[in-house]
Amino acid sequence: MIPHGHFARSLRLRRLHHHTTSGLMITPLDHSISDGPVVPRNSSIDRLAGQLAAGGVDAIVVHKGSVRHIRPERFADMSLIIHLNASTGQAVDPDAKYVVTEVEEALRLGADAVSVHVNLGSDDERRQIADLGRISDACDRWNLPLMAMVYPRGPRVTDPHDPALVAHAVTIAADLGVDLVKTTFPGSMPDLLALTEACPVPVLIAGGPPQATEDGVLEFVGEVLAGGALGVAMGRNIFQSADPERLAGRVARRVHRLPAEELDDMTRGHQRDGQQAVLA
């Protein structure tokens, strides 16, 4: 990561990298508004956050209300990203994202960064791009890092992995001043290499479709890194797994390019005094 802009913004960007600057692993948990509960049965958002922190995740993405139910100590070694817009799967147009909180509220909640979702090709695209531009201005004003999740998605998008459309998606994000852009995997490895080489801001690849095995998840992560992406923003494949902490740890080791024993030592250090231990 190359520091740029105001010192405070560069400092906060650096803080997102809790393990190494060579890779970034984020676990979005903002699916709760669009799809319903993300927390496994007999668990809690606090316990899930603890598992992810113990596994070596750099940051989680949540909506503002979720923060009330997560203990602050979970973020001793993991960053908090507040998601600013939303929609539900039951809406007439589920691709239409609307702002539900603002940058100033995220700062009051202690966020290290904010994120915004834009669907390129949605019937509501005009509002979403305008919202991204306005939020980018607010992030500049407060020196808060901004991640945009931009996907080709809408009634006229026949192939959401079309390399030209994915390139257009990340260009929108970069042109409107984001610090990180999350998007879908384009058509092939050469397409991903071309995308990451051309994009002036770091690219994170979305976690992709559900994988049948942990090895399938790790193979996907390996392709993402080989394609020049900074890392992954992986949600469902992590929190819907049988053991989120174990799988998060395996993905984190791959993203951070750390040998298994090194990350295990770091995780044990994070758990001192029981602060990051997963509590029943």
Catalytic annotation, residues: 30, 151, 182
d(C-alpha 278, C-alpha 52), whole Å: 9
Residues 6+ positions from 95 with CB-CB distance below 8 Å: 87, 119, 122, 123, 124, 153, 154
Tokens representing 133 are 């531009």
Tokens representing 86 are 């939303």
The 3-state DSSP class for residue 30 equals coil
What are the Cα distances from residue 139, in Å, to 2, 105, 132, 135, 186? Answer: 18, 12, 10, 6, 28
Closest by CA to 181, choosing from 154, 209, 206, 164, is 206
Kindly state the DSSP code that residue 58 receives in the 8-state scheme: S
d(C-alpha 116, C-alpha 101), whole Å: 10
